[in-house]
Amino acid sequence: MNCRSAEHLFSSFVEDELSQRERLSLESHLEECARCSAAVQELRVTVDLLSTLPSYETGPAFEEEIMDRIRSGEAMRPGLIEWISEHLAPARLRPVFLAGAAGCALWIAFLLVNPGQDAAPNGGSKIAGTTPKTEQTATSNVPAPSSAVTTPAAPAGDVVASAPTPARVAPSRTGSVPAALEGTAAASGSADSARINAPYQDEYILDQFYLNRSGEDGVHSIVPVSGRTTDDVYITF
Amino acid sequence: MPIESLRLKKLDPLAELSDEDVMERCAQGSEAAFRTLVQRYRSRIMNLVCRFINDRDRAEEIAQEVFLRVFRNKERYRKSGKFSTWIFTIAVNLTKNEIRSRVRHRGTYSLDAMDEESGGQGLPFPDWKPLPDADLNAREIQNKVAEALRKIPPRYREAVVLRDVEGLSYEEVGEILRIPGGTVRSRINRARLMLKERLKPYLKLEDV
């Protein structure tokens, strides 16, 4: 053991906290090194002196001043820094973080389980915006349908006057259900009826719904490709 | 048992309770229990704060604030932890805030500047009284020790004050300063060696 490594053990030696092996090794060094031996003695005295320092006392009114501050309500008003440290402490914010993380996890799980559902409210416009227009020659006099299913897309006269064209069947996601929407319908009133009964071009193709014209009474309906007729149909263009 | 001691026991039922038990009663709303804690710890807290910031008036304000925080947070105290560790942690944190505040206002924190505030002599001991000639040397040594303590860096000073002046265990010091046990021992050893070097001329006076 050299002086440098011995020095690291001085404090523990003074407090008798060394292992037997360390203590024997240090004692062996101290017997040979007068300088380290003196240093240990000085350190021992230093520690003793620290423990005998006189203490500072509070003033005589210390306790009563505290009690007065408590009675006045001052004690119950934390300072700004204390308030912040208490209310924004990591331990306090942990439930908020956990709730946020759980919410995010649920939302991600929902998206994974229902990949197409999230776009339902705005999906119509998205699909309409990305769907290519077709048969421009046949539908040139048909204005684009308006934004709501129940709103007549165009004046009835224009629709009726348009040339009949075979409906184009777009590939469906399921493969078994026609996915071509030949217009926006499900309307009431004469204008809507006229438009629906017209040989409408499939100007817009949606993969979520299709126009069912197979009703015997001539009633057309918009049916989700999923086949669940109870689904709410809400399409915007 | 003598009648006097029986009477004293009846007068102060909290006297024999541990700090943790007294604190529990304090949390239940006992003002007497809170007063008992103030009486038990006022000197130690005042002493600790004074050793750190060397400003007696401000130290007393901080010591009061320590007890107000104990009162304010009494319901949050958990009996599983030692009360002394809890209250010393509050005191150390408030003192550190004070030092940071001084650094912000002054731009730097100088122990020498604090010495100048106290006339270069540090704080006089409150129980300063004329001592017999035989004790003059001891008083001089104590002043030198206190001065040496003020001169070492704060991180070493706080560790050695908690350990050697307040007599806390290494584990408590680590818990209060939020540093691991190895760091506690290293800082205390380093602090003692620094103090020893500063006190070397006077230790010869003591002549062990």
User: How high is the pLDDT of residue A164?
Assistant: 42
pTM above 0.80, yes or no: no
Strand ranges for chain A from DSSP E: 180-181, 204-205, 209-212, 221-224
User: Is pLDDT of A169 > 50?
Assistant: no
- Is A22 exposed, middle or buried (CB count within 10 Å of its CB: 0-12, 13-18, 19+)? middle
List residues in chain A touching B: CB distance below 8 A: 7-8, 10-12, 39, 41-47, 49-59, 62-63, 65-67, 69-70, 74-76, 78, 81-82
**Residue with tokens 């006089």, as numbered in its chain:** B124
Contact present, B115 and B55 (Cβ < 8 Å): no
User: Is pLDDT of B135 > 60?
Assistant: no
> Would the CB atoms of B67 and A66 count as touching at under 8 Å?
yes
Q: Give the Cα separation of B198 and B93 in Å (integer).
A: 28
User: How high is the pLDDT of residue A141?
Assistant: 44
- Between residues A137 and B41, which one has the greater pLDDT? B41
Q: Give the Cα separation of B43 and B63 in Å (integer).
A: 9
User: How high is the pLDDT of residue A156?
Assistant: 40
**Which residues have C-beta within 8 Å of that of residue A65, sequence separation ≥ 6?**
B64
Q: Give the Cα separation of B174 and A78 in Å (integer).
A: 27
Q: Give the Cα separation of A201 and A204 in Å (integer).
A: 8
Q: B159: helix, coil or strand?
A: helix
Q: What is the mean pLDDT of chain B?
A: 79
**Which of chain B's residues have a Cβ under 8 Å away from the Cβ of A11?**
185, 188-189, 192
User: Of the given ranges (A86-100, B37-51, B82-96, B167-181), which has the lowest mean pLDDT?
Assistant: A86-100
pLDDT per residue as tens digits for the range B73-127 = 888 887 778 899 999 999 999 998 888 877 776 654 444 444 434 444 444 444 4
Q: Which of B43, B188, B200 has the CB atom closest to A58's CB atom?
A: B43
**Which of chain A's residues have a Cβ under 8 Å away from the Cβ of B47?**
55-56
- The pLDDT confidence band at residue A236, using thresholds 50, 70 and 90, is very low
Strand ranges for B145-184 from DSSP E: none
Q: Calculate mean pLDDT across residues B185-206.
A: 84
Contact present, B176 and B162 (Cβ < 8 Å): yes
- Between residues A163 and A28, which one has the greater pLDDT? A28
Residue A164: strand pairing partners = none
